[in-house]
Chains A and B, each alone.
Chain A
Amino acid sequence: MNVYEALLKIQSSLLKKQYLLRLGRFFSAQVLIQIEEDKYFLTFEKGQITSIAVNPEIKMPWHFAFRTDELALNEFWQKMPKPGFHDIFGLVKIGRAEIDGDIILLIKNLRFFKEVLALARNKDE
């Protein structure tokens, strides 16, 4: 599963998670997920991901960005990630990710965003 496929899985899985949609009901924002050179712009509207734009040709605004590398993200998506790879702030702490932009917006919605990003985690391994 590549990153785009994983993000699509997150988008569809989120619709089946009523408790997450409730947690994210006040979250409407543009989030940039950057994996090395590739940029994925996720549009959240009231907790739902309404679009995923990949490397758009036009400049797109974003509220906060999460940037990491593909190996780190794949480890994050393992059922039992190694220490540091098990959490987005863990990746930041071990120097494998960066978060910038409106961090307060992220922190206010941190549980929601962490759980959304973890929806691509392989639970059957």
Chain B
Amino acid sequence: MTTSDIETITGRYVNCKIDGKMHRIYFEEAGRGEPIICLHTAGADTRQWQHILNDSEINGQYRLIAFDMPWHGKSSPPIGWETEEYNLTTSVYIETILAFKEALRLDKPIIAGCSMGGRIALQLALSHSDKFAGFIAIEASDFQPAWYDIDWFHRPDAHGGEMGAALVSANIAPQSPTEHKWLTQWMFMQSGPGVFRGDLTFYTKDDSLLKTITKIDTSNAPVHILVGEYDLTCTPENAKQTANKIKGATLKIMPNIGHFPMSENPDEFRPHFLEALQKMKC
């Protein structure tokens, strides 16, 4: 092994109090400059962002930080998890991001979130826009009811991760390189029991943004929405309708891409992300 084989990304842990309980949060980062907090989708983890974090052009200008949400990836569930039903809520999700931002003492970072991470980016744009420099909301809309039964993914007689991966593969564009299609699904297969379902509770049942989305003020911090044309969960039409409700928001529909742009097709996503970063300077 040579030093050139070692990736730029480094991983560490930070301990934060969230919803009254201590959490050991795993995060990865790369680069120096204006901070960007990168949020993964439901049922996955920071690895979705590995290609963006390792991109020398991007990490040469920005400090990219991705963290595993509690219960996800290498972040632990809280003490007592064994008797707890994991159900993510908007308030706990916002508290988690603010606690992480505070723990790392990040001054007005950009938020870049995908899927449920994109949804919470819009919630933060609504309620905490003064704390952030801008919002890149990927595969994001104000609400998506489930088009499947979320209870399929947590049952004792089957592997929720394998079933979840098989379902979300519907959201991966056929143009995506085979290697990346399967690594994207691998993350879902490794998800802890009930975690994908618990994320979907937030994503498919909390419709609170429907009533408030028009109140987002982009004069404080820009909002740019990205959506893949093969996304079946948050379709281009869903994202367009959401963007139209936010005065000043911008939208980009990405051809040949599905619901997991950063991991399913990193090369195809890269120019769209660079463009989104330019939008954050407006």
Q: Which residues of A contact B163 (CB under 8 A)?
A: 107-108, 110
* Per-residue B-contact encoding for A15-51, CB less than 8 Å = 1, 0 else: 0000000000000000000000000000000000000
Interface residues of B in 33-53 (CB under 8 A from A): none
Enumerate chain B residues within 8 angstroms of A114, measured Cβ to Cβ: 166, 169
Known interface pairs A83-B230, A87-B169, A87-B232; A104-B152 also in contact (CB < 8 Å): yes
User: Which B residue sits closest to A78, measured CB to CB?
Assistant: B174
- Most chain-B Cβ atoms within 10 A of its Cβ — which of A90, A107, A114? A107
Q: For the complex, is B81 an interface residue (Cβ under 8 Å from A)?
A: no
Asked if A80 contacts B232 (CB within 8 A), the reply is no
8 A Cβ contacts from A65-112 to B: 79-81, 83-84, 86-90, 92-94, 103-104, 107-108, 110-111
Contact of A86 among B147, B148, B162, B230 (CB under 8 A): B230
Report which of A83, A84, A89 forms a contact with B167, defined as CB distance below 8 A. Answer: A89
Q: Which residues of B contact A110 (CB under 8 A)?
A: 163, 166-167
Instruction: Judge whether B232 and A90 touch: CB under 8 Å.
Output: yes
Q: Classify chain A: how many residues form its interface, as a range.
A: 20 to 34
Interface of B is mostly: loop
- In the complex, B137 has a CB within 8 A of chain A: no
B274 within 8 A of A: no
Contacts of A108 in B (CB 8 A): 157-158, 163
Q: How many A-B pairs with Cβ below 8 Å?
A: 48
Question: Chain A's nearest CB lies how many Å from the CB of B181?
Answer: 12
Please tell me if the beta carbons of A86 and B167 are within 8 angstroms of each other in the complex: no
Residue among B148, B165, B166 with most chain A CB within 10 A: B166
Chain A residues within an 8 Å CB radius of B133: none
B29 lies within 8 A of chain A by Cβ? no
**What distance in Å separates the Cβ of A116 from its nearest Cβ neighbour in chain B?**
12
CB pair A111 B174 closer than 8 Å: no
A80 near B167 with CB under 8 A, answer no
A86 touches B166 (CB 8 A): no
From 201 to 257 in chain B, residues with beta carbon under 8 angstroms from any chain A beta carbon are: 229-230, 232
A89 CA / B168 CA spacing, docked (Å): 10
Chain A nearest CB, measured from B192 CB (Å): 19
Interfacial chain A residues near B170, Cβ < 8 Å: 86-90, 93
Cβ of B175 under 8 Å from chain A:
yes
| 3 interchain residue pairs of minimum CB distance | A110-B166, A87-B170, A111-B166
7 contacts between A and B (CB under 8 A): A86-B230, A87-B170, A104-B158, A108-B163, A110-B166, A111-B169, A114-B169
| Additional A-B contacts beyond A81-B174, A84-B232, A89-B148 (9; CB < 8 A) | A79-B174, A80-B174, A86-B170, A93-B232, A103-B149, A107-B152, A107-B158, A108-B163, A111-B169
